[in-house]
Copies of this chain bind each other. A is one copy, B any other.
Amino acid sequence: MAELETFPNRHRSRDYTIVHTCPEFTAVCPKTGQPDFGTIRISYVPDRRCVELKSLKLYLFTFRNRGIFYEHVTNVILDDLVRALRPRRMTVEGDFRVRGGISTVVQASYQARRRGRRP
Residues of A within 8 A of B (CB): 9-11, 14-24, 26, 34-35, 37, 46, 50, 53-54, 56-57, 61, 64-65, 70-72, 74-75, 97-111, 119
- What's the least CB distance linking A74 to chain B, in Å? 7
Which of chain B's residues have a CB closer than 8 A to the CB of A37?
23-24, 26, 101
- In the complex, the chain B residue whose C-beta lies closest to that of A7 is B69
* Distance in angstroms between the alpha carbons of A36 and B107 in the assembled complex: 26
The complex is assembled from copies of this chain, and their number is 10
Supposing A11-B71, A35-B64, A71-B9 touch, asked if A53 and B20 sit within 8 A by C-beta, the answer is no
Which of chain B's residues have a CB closer than 8 A to the CB of A75?
10-11, 14, 16
